[in-house]
Amino acid sequence: MCVFMIKIDENLTVVSPAGFKASGIHCGLKKSLLKKDLALIYSETLANSAGVYTKNKVKGAPLTVTKKHLTNKKSQAIIINSGNANTCTGDDGLAKANKMTSLCAKALNIKNDDVLVASTGVIGVPLNIDAIKDGIPSLVTNLSCNNSSAKDACSAIMTTDTVMKQAGVEIEIQGKKITIAAMAKGSGMIHPNMATMLSFITTDLSISPILLKEALKTSVNLSYNRISVDGDSSTNDMVLIMANSLANNETILEKNDDFNLFLEALTLLNIYLAKKIAKDGEGATKLIECTVKNAPSIENAEVLAKSVINSNLVKAAIFGSDANWGRILCALGYADIEFDPEKVDVRFESSAGEIVVCKNGLPTNFDESKAKKILLQDEIKILIDLKLGSCKATSWGCDLTYDYVKINGDYRS
């Protein structure tokens, strides 16, 4: 059982769990020589592994290859490029995704199907495989278990992200210290059900592949699938986890307290990164957290919270620090979930305080200047009470800004 509070540690990286190495280099997919674009995560031993993928019908070639290589639920390395999504690239794209893993496997002297692959960037442009081929030798040479190498890897998966997203947690299972760490990227096309969102999780825990997959799926549904930047689900999203057993705990084979502790820590880590992604949404200036409580079911609460988080009108109002709660009720109303508008309370909360703006579906006579002060902060909570049940769900997103339009008006140039 857990003997200490689970706490996010921002200094932990994907190389913090025992036996993991990482590296990141510039190979030439991004124009700027200063920007890294090729990353590698490597485990000294074969790791039980699992993945969760986008539900978009248009899928990037790397997804096809990674899914296939995970048939045996094992992997030893993940190679990731930014600057090109290798999607809508047909047979050529598929051949190149395969080439990425085989070149990498050869350089690492491991089996081809123990290498997973992910790509992020522009869609529909042929991948420059020569740049990757030329880069792999130094990518492998640079592998190390130093945090600086993990940082290189983390920066190599960024596209329009403005900050690196990595963190970890430590827990104790059977007296052994277990480390779980991850690196992730956003930041456009972010929407529930995996957006252009990549997250790579490493842990030295020993756990059966089936339970690993289950823990991953559960935690992803509570974290990455609860965020939205722009309502666009990408073609290339994936979350991968590698558990290499080097912590030497007795392998978790059932849903016991150890499993629950791992799940809790994993979920905490993923929520932390998901919020980081939401806050770093393209052009965003604010993190918006919407909680719907006292709903008849978690599913209902989730759909309603996401509807609010996705509303362009709500997002633009939060950008303008405008307490336009009518738009929140409107967004609840079109979510196609039964609720009673005349029971709804809406409250805004931030570091500057809290204010109830709507009570039983009606305006409270609230102090506009106080509301403004609350909404001027960079993390805004929207709390909605349905008074219909006892379930709740939280969803995260960001405001809609001039810069979102600017970034996306000409992304390719």
The residues annotated as belonging to the active site are 196
Residue 127 identity: L
Determine the 3-state secondary structure of 243 from DSSP: strand
Q: In whole angstroms, give the CA distance from residue 149 to residue 246.
A: 20
Q: Which two tokens stand for residue 158?
A: 């960024």
Residue written as token pair 């007296």: 175
Please state the closest distance from residue 160 (CB atom) to a copy of itself, in A.
Answer: 12
Please state the closest distance from residue 330 (CB atom) to a copy of itself, in A.
Answer: 5
Q: Which two tokens stand for residue 278?
A: 């939401």
Residue number with CB closer to a copy of itself (165 or 327): 327
Please state the closest distance from residue 371 (CB atom) to a copy of itself, in A.
Answer: 11
Please state the closest distance from residue 185 (CB atom) to a copy of itself, in A.
Answer: 17
Please state the closest distance from residue 377 (CB atom) to a copy of itself, in A.
Answer: 16
Q: Is 196 annotated as a binding residue?
A: yes
**CA 59 to each of CA 66, 70, 196, 392, 401: distance values in angstroms, whole numbers, following the listed order:** 12, 16, 11, 32, 29
DSSP labels, 78-120 = EEEEES----S-HHHHHHHHHHHHHHHHHHHTS-GGGEEEEEE
Residue number with CB closer to a copy of itself (79 or 337): 337
Q: In whole angstroms, give the CA distance from residue 387 to residue 45.
A: 52
Q: Is 408 annotated as a binding residue?
A: yes
The candidate with the shortest Cα–Cα distance to 48, out of 199, 237, 206, is 206
Q: Is 199 annotated as a binding residue?
A: no
Q: Which two tokens stand for residue 115?
A: 């290498």
Please state the closest distance from residue 56 (CB atom) to a copy of itself, in A.
Answer: 4
The enclosing H or E element of 260 equals helix 257-279
Residue number with CB closer to a copy of itself (185 or 213): 185
Inter-residue contact 253 to 205 (CB < 8 Å): no
Residue number with CB closer to a copy of itself (295 or 337): 337
Q: What share of the chain is helix, strand, coil (3-state, %, to 5)?
A: 35, 25, 40
Contacts with a copy of itself, residue ranges (CB under 8 A): 55-59, 85, 87-90, 122-126, 188-189, 191, 193, 230-235, 310-313, 316-317, 319-320, 322, 324-327, 329-335, 337-339, 341-342, 358, 360-363, 400-402, 404-413
Please state the closest distance from residue 190 (CB atom) to a copy of itself, in A.
Answer: 11
Q: Which two tokens stand for residue 36?
A: 């890294």
The candidate with the shortest Cα–Cα distance to 354, out of 373, 327, 332, 340, is 373
Q: Is 413 annotated as a binding residue?
A: yes
Question: What number of other Cβ atoms are within 10 A of residue 313's Cβ?
Answer: 14
Q: Is 185 annotated as a binding residue?
A: yes
Question: What number of other Cβ atoms are within 10 A of residue 98's Cβ?
Answer: 18
**CA 216 to each of CA 47, 99, 180, 223, 252: distance values in angstroms, whole numbers, following the listed order:** 15, 28, 12, 10, 14
Q: Which two tokens stand for residue 189?
A: 């096309």
Q: Is 159 annotated as a binding residue?
A: yes
Residue number with CB closer to a copy of itself (254 or 342): 342
Residue number with CB closer to a copy of itself (296 or 341): 341
Known binding-site positions for substrate? 159, 185, 196, 282, 408, 413
Known binding-site positions? 159, 185, 196, 282, 408, 413
